[in-house]
A and B are shown apart, each in its own frame.
Chain A
Amino acid sequence: AQRVTQPEKLLSVFKGAPVELKCNYSYSGSPELFWYVQYSRQRLQLLLRHISRESIKGFTADLNKGETSFHLKKPFAQEEDSAMYYCALSGRGFQKLVFGTGTRLLVSP
Protein backbone atom coordinates (compact mmCIF):
# COMPACT_ATOMS: atom_id res chain seq x y z
CA ALA A 1 0.00 0.00 0.00
CA GLN A 2 1.02 3.58 -0.55
CA ARG A 3 1.07 6.18 2.18
CA VAL A 4 2.13 9.82 2.53
CA THR A 5 2.79 11.40 5.91
CA GLN A 6 2.94 15.10 6.62
CA PRO A 7 3.64 15.38 10.33
CA GLU A 8 2.90 19.08 10.76
CA LYS A 9 -0.64 20.40 10.51
CA LEU A 10 0.52 23.98 10.87
CA LEU A 11 3.82 25.70 10.29
CA SER A 12 4.04 29.34 11.29
CA VAL A 13 7.06 31.44 10.34
CA PHE A 14 8.00 35.08 9.91
CA LYS A 15 8.61 36.65 6.54
CA GLY A 16 12.18 36.07 5.43
CA ALA A 17 12.66 32.96 7.55
CA PRO A 18 13.54 29.60 5.99
CA VAL A 19 10.76 27.09 5.53
CA GLU A 20 10.79 23.30 5.41
CA LEU A 21 7.57 21.34 5.03
CA LYS A 22 8.13 17.69 5.77
CA CYS A 23 6.85 14.78 3.70
CA ASN A 24 7.60 11.09 4.12
CA TYR A 25 6.21 8.33 1.99
CA SER A 26 5.78 4.59 2.00
CA TYR A 27 5.82 2.77 -1.34
CA SER A 28 7.64 -0.35 -2.43
CA GLY A 29 7.93 0.65 -6.08
CA SER A 30 9.55 3.57 -7.85
CA PRO A 31 7.71 6.67 -6.65
CA GLU A 32 6.74 9.87 -8.35
CA LEU A 33 6.38 12.68 -5.79
CA PHE A 34 4.52 15.95 -6.07
CA TRP A 35 3.77 19.03 -4.03
CA TYR A 36 0.33 20.58 -4.55
CA VAL A 37 -0.67 23.96 -3.12
CA GLN A 38 -4.04 25.48 -2.37
CA TYR A 39 -4.15 29.23 -1.82
CA SER A 40 -7.13 30.78 -0.06
CA ARG A 41 -10.29 30.47 -2.17
CA GLN A 42 -8.40 28.85 -5.03
CA ARG A 43 -8.32 25.33 -6.35
CA LEU A 44 -5.63 22.77 -5.75
CA GLN A 45 -2.73 23.24 -8.16
CA LEU A 46 0.57 21.56 -8.84
CA LEU A 47 3.56 23.36 -7.35
CA LEU A 48 6.34 21.02 -8.36
CA ARG A 49 7.22 17.41 -9.06
CA HIS A 50 10.46 15.64 -8.36
CA ILE A 51 11.20 14.53 -11.92
CA SER A 52 11.29 18.08 -13.22
CA ARG A 53 13.87 19.17 -10.65
CA GLU A 54 12.62 22.74 -10.99
CA SER A 55 12.48 25.56 -8.52
CA ILE A 56 9.00 27.07 -8.53
CA LYS A 57 8.35 30.34 -6.67
CA GLY A 58 11.63 29.74 -4.86
CA PHE A 59 10.57 26.31 -3.58
CA THR A 60 12.62 23.18 -4.11
CA ALA A 61 12.16 19.57 -3.07
CA ASP A 62 14.60 16.70 -3.30
CA LEU A 63 13.58 13.07 -3.33
CA ASN A 64 15.60 11.11 -0.78
CA LYS A 65 14.88 7.44 -1.42
CA GLY A 66 17.01 6.32 1.53
CA GLU A 67 14.94 8.34 3.97
CA THR A 68 11.76 8.04 1.86
CA SER A 69 11.31 11.78 2.11
CA PHE A 70 10.40 14.64 -0.19
CA HIS A 71 10.62 17.74 1.96
CA LEU A 72 9.68 21.12 0.50
CA LYS A 73 12.07 23.97 1.19
CA LYS A 74 12.33 27.68 0.62
CA PRO A 75 15.17 29.80 1.98
CA PHE A 76 13.18 33.01 2.52
CA ALA A 77 9.43 32.76 3.07
CA GLN A 78 7.09 35.43 1.69
CA GLU A 79 3.63 36.37 2.95
CA GLU A 80 2.13 35.20 -0.33
CA ASP A 81 3.41 31.68 0.39
CA SER A 82 0.71 31.29 3.04
CA ALA A 83 -1.42 28.36 1.87
CA MET A 84 -2.19 24.68 2.36
CA TYR A 85 0.51 22.39 1.00
CA TYR A 86 -0.12 18.75 0.14
CA CYS A 87 2.50 16.17 -0.66
CA ALA A 88 1.31 13.47 -3.06
CA LEU A 89 2.59 10.19 -4.43
CA SER A 90 2.01 8.27 -7.60
CA GLY A 91 3.81 5.40 -9.24
CA ARG A 92 3.98 2.98 -12.14
CA GLY A 93 0.93 0.79 -12.29
CA PHE A 94 -1.46 3.27 -10.75
CA GLN A 95 -2.74 6.59 -12.02
CA LYS A 96 -4.20 8.03 -8.85
CA LEU A 97 -2.54 10.45 -6.48
CA VAL A 98 -2.14 9.49 -2.82
CA PHE A 99 -2.14 12.63 -0.70
CA GLY A 100 -0.89 13.47 2.74
CA THR A 101 -3.11 15.31 5.20
CA GLY A 102 -1.56 18.66 4.35
CA THR A 103 0.39 21.37 6.16
CA ARG A 104 -0.91 24.88 6.54
CA LEU A 105 1.90 27.38 6.11
CA LEU A 106 1.34 30.75 7.69
CA VAL A 107 3.87 33.46 6.96
CA SER A 108 3.55 36.51 9.18
CA PRO A 109 4.95 39.97 8.41
Chain B
Amino acid sequence: GAGVSQSPRYKVAKRGQDVALRCDPISGHVSLFWYQQALGQGPEFLTYFQNEAQLDKSGLPSDRFFAERPEGSVSTLKIQRTQQEDSAVYLCASSLGPGINNEQYFGPGTRLTVT
Protein backbone atom coordinates (compact mmCIF):
# COMPACT_ATOMS: atom_id res chain seq x y z
CA GLY B 1 0.00 0.00 0.00
CA ALA B 2 1.05 3.53 0.76
CA GLY B 3 4.45 4.44 2.02
CA VAL B 4 5.31 6.26 5.22
CA SER B 5 3.06 9.25 5.75
CA GLN B 6 3.56 12.25 7.98
CA SER B 7 1.28 15.04 9.10
CA PRO B 8 1.12 17.91 9.03
CA ARG B 9 3.40 18.55 6.08
CA TYR B 10 4.02 22.10 7.22
CA LYS B 11 3.73 23.63 10.65
CA VAL B 12 4.35 27.19 11.75
CA ALA B 13 4.58 27.70 15.49
CA LYS B 14 5.22 30.75 17.59
CA ARG B 15 8.15 30.44 19.93
CA GLY B 16 7.04 28.82 23.14
CA GLN B 17 4.19 26.82 21.62
CA ASP B 18 3.97 23.06 21.81
CA VAL B 19 3.75 21.02 18.60
CA ALA B 20 2.94 17.40 17.79
CA LEU B 21 4.11 15.70 14.61
CA ARG B 22 2.59 12.45 13.46
CA CYS B 23 4.09 9.50 11.59
CA ASP B 24 2.22 6.59 10.04
CA PRO B 25 4.74 3.89 9.16
CA ILE B 26 4.32 1.22 6.53
CA SER B 27 1.94 -1.42 7.85
CA GLY B 28 3.78 -4.26 9.54
CA HIS B 29 7.04 -2.37 9.95
CA VAL B 30 8.48 -3.03 13.37
CA SER B 31 11.18 -0.36 13.43
CA LEU B 32 10.50 3.37 13.38
CA PHE B 33 12.98 6.22 13.37
CA TRP B 34 12.79 10.00 13.72
CA TYR B 35 15.40 12.28 12.18
CA GLN B 36 15.82 16.05 12.21
CA GLN B 37 17.14 17.80 9.11
CA ALA B 38 18.23 21.40 9.47
CA LEU B 39 18.64 23.57 6.39
CA GLY B 40 21.71 22.57 4.40
CA GLN B 41 22.44 19.56 6.59
CA GLY B 42 21.91 15.85 6.36
CA PRO B 43 19.29 14.13 8.50
CA GLU B 44 20.33 13.63 12.12
CA PHE B 45 19.02 10.79 14.23
CA LEU B 46 16.65 11.61 17.05
CA THR B 47 15.11 8.38 18.32
CA TYR B 48 14.29 4.75 17.46
CA PHE B 49 11.40 2.45 18.31
CA GLN B 50 11.09 -1.28 17.98
CA ASN B 51 7.34 -1.88 18.18
CA GLU B 52 6.23 0.26 21.13
CA ALA B 53 9.58 0.20 22.89
CA GLN B 54 11.77 3.27 22.57
CA LEU B 55 15.18 1.61 22.40
CA ASP B 56 17.33 4.61 21.59
CA LYS B 57 16.62 8.25 22.34
CA SER B 58 20.21 9.39 22.38
CA GLY B 59 19.63 11.92 19.60
CA LEU B 60 16.88 13.93 21.25
CA PRO B 61 18.47 17.37 21.71
CA SER B 62 16.73 18.32 24.94
CA ASP B 63 14.05 17.25 27.35
CA ARG B 64 11.62 19.41 25.39
CA PHE B 65 11.54 16.64 22.80
CA PHE B 66 9.42 13.59 23.49
CA ALA B 67 8.38 10.71 21.23
CA GLU B 68 5.96 7.87 21.68
CA ARG B 69 4.57 4.90 19.80
CA PRO B 70 2.04 3.47 22.24
CA GLU B 71 0.55 0.72 20.08
CA GLY B 72 3.58 -0.07 18.02
CA SER B 73 2.33 1.59 14.84
CA VAL B 74 1.64 5.35 14.68
CA SER B 75 4.24 7.54 16.35
CA THR B 76 4.11 11.11 17.59
CA LEU B 77 7.03 13.44 18.11
CA LYS B 78 6.20 16.23 20.52
CA ILE B 79 8.22 19.37 21.00
CA GLN B 80 7.38 21.52 23.99
CA ARG B 81 8.08 25.24 24.26
CA THR B 82 9.44 25.44 20.73
CA GLN B 83 12.55 27.52 20.08
CA GLN B 84 13.82 29.00 16.83
CA GLU B 85 16.59 26.43 16.65
CA ASP B 86 13.90 23.73 16.42
CA SER B 87 13.06 24.93 12.89
CA ALA B 88 13.85 22.00 10.62
CA VAL B 89 12.34 19.21 8.58
CA TYR B 90 11.40 16.25 10.76
CA LEU B 91 11.65 12.94 8.94
CA CYS B 92 10.14 9.67 9.96
CA ALA B 93 11.37 6.33 8.58
CA SER B 94 10.26 2.76 9.09
CA SER B 95 11.77 -0.61 8.34
CA LEU B 96 10.65 -4.23 8.52
CA GLY B 97 12.61 -4.89 11.66
CA PRO B 98 15.92 -4.57 13.44
CA GLY B 99 18.99 -5.42 11.48
CA ILE B 100 21.18 -3.25 9.34
CA ASN B 101 20.10 -5.08 6.22
CA ASN B 102 16.58 -3.75 6.49
CA GLU B 103 16.01 -0.72 4.30
CA GLN B 104 14.63 2.38 5.96
CA TYR B 105 11.73 3.93 4.07
CA PHE B 106 11.31 7.63 4.60
CA GLY B 107 8.23 9.79 4.81
CA PRO B 108 7.90 13.18 3.11
CA GLY B 109 8.77 15.04 6.30
CA THR B 110 7.16 17.79 8.32
CA ARG B 111 8.69 21.23 7.86
CA LEU B 112 8.52 23.07 11.18
CA THR B 113 9.10 26.81 11.24
CA VAL B 114 9.29 28.51 14.62
CA THR B 115 8.75 32.27 14.49
Contact = CB atoms under 8 A, between A and B. Distances in A.
B104 interface: yes
Contacts of A97: 33, 35, 43, 45, 104
A46 B48 CA distance: 19
A43 B59 contact: no
B1 interface: no
Question: Which secondary structure characterizes the binding site on chain A?
Answer: strand
A99 interface: yes
Question: Which secondary structure characterizes the binding site on chain B?
Answer: loop
Nearest to A41: B108
A14 B48 CA distance: 40
Nearest to A51: B101
Interface string A67-87: 000000000000000000010
B100 to A, nearest CB: 5
Given A32-B100, A43-B108, A86 B42 contact: yes
Interface of A: 4, 6, 9, 32, 43-46, 49, 51, 86, 88, 90-92, 94-102
Sorted from nearest, which 7 A-B pairs have the closest CB atoms? A99-B42, A96-B45, A44-B106, A32-B100, A90-B100, A101-B42, A43-B108
